[in-house]
Structure 1
């Protein structure tokens, strides 16, 4: 994967996941991808170097860092739970998609079964789409648990 293709490819893959929000809470130079308000991917360019930060299971993170020289401990993140992907010949689109998938599922698997904080605000007025989205997320999460049982 080249420096020019890493971010566009990561963005395209991340946006295929349900309930993904693309935002810029840390400024325009940091593309943040969230599910239910929780970050699963951040892309940025630091000193001319394209970076993609992803959540990762600690054991898998260490293994991937040993196998792929373009996977490093998370830049400015908890090194145990985050990795940074940098451009390199050892990073394919399929590998990047697998890493993003793992990251998204890491976040979704830890979501509470209660409504998110956005849904319990006093001024929140649910509409049909928000209700459907919430219950779809609950069902998706439940099906993930049952598939591992």
Structure 2
């Protein structure tokens, strides 16, 4: 998925969630997505590449960074709790070349970020932030929202 598509898909998805507000507290080049005043996503351009930061469970973040070249530790964020997602350009060579793995459990040189994974990452980020809000302030149940049904 190319970087511009990553930002467009993530934006369209985030705007469908309850109580999402968009602002530019760090300047016009950083678009911050918040739920009830707490940031769950930030879109920006990093070295000329459209990118976004998402909150993540630390164990999931480690696995994702190892599996996907497009996912790195969160830029200017807590590296344990945030990831940066930037799509790969079609000529970047990701998934191409001799011996590159193309299976779901492959290596970072063979697995590509897709819309379904991006959807899951944005949903997870939103729900992680909602789960930390006081119950009375939660716009949704973070355990079941969006078809999730895992323990808090």
Helix, strand or coil: the match of 1:66? helix
Q: Residue 87 of structure 2 aligns with which residue?
A: 87
For 1:68 and 1:142, how far apart are their aligned partners in 2? 26
Does the C-alpha gap of structure 1 residues 67 and 29 become closer, same or farther in structure 2, counting only changes over 3 Å? same
1:101 aligns with 2:86: no
Does structure 1 retain, via aligned residues, the 8 Å contact 2:21–2:34?
yes
Q: Which entry has the higher C-alpha Rg, 1 or 2? A: 1
What is the CA deviation profile of residues 108-144 of structure 1, one whole-angstrom value per residue up to 9, with x for unaligned ones? 11101355xxxxxxxxxxxxxxxxxx7xx2xx33864
TM-score normalised by length of structure 2: 0.75
Structure 1 runs (4+) greater than 2 angstroms displaced: 140-145
For 2:143 and 2:72, how far apart are their aligned partners in 1? 32
1:38 aligns with 2:38: yes
Q: Cα distance, 1:38 vs. partner?
A: 0.3
Q: Residue 69 of structure 2 aligns with which residue?
A: 69
Structure 2 unaligned spans of 5+: 89-93, 95-111
Does the C-alpha gap of structure 1 residues 60 and 94 become closer, same or farther in structure 2, counting only changes over 3 Å? same
Helix, strand or coil: the match of 2:118? helix
TM-score normalised by length of structure 1: 0.77
For 1:113 and 1:104, how far apart are their aligned partners in 2? 15
For 1:44 and 1:142, how far apart are their aligned partners in 2? 26
For 2:40 and 2:63, how far apart are their aligned partners in 1? 19
Higher helix share: 1
Does the C-alpha gap of structure 1 residues 64 and 148 become closer, same or farther in structure 2, counting only changes over 3 Å? closer
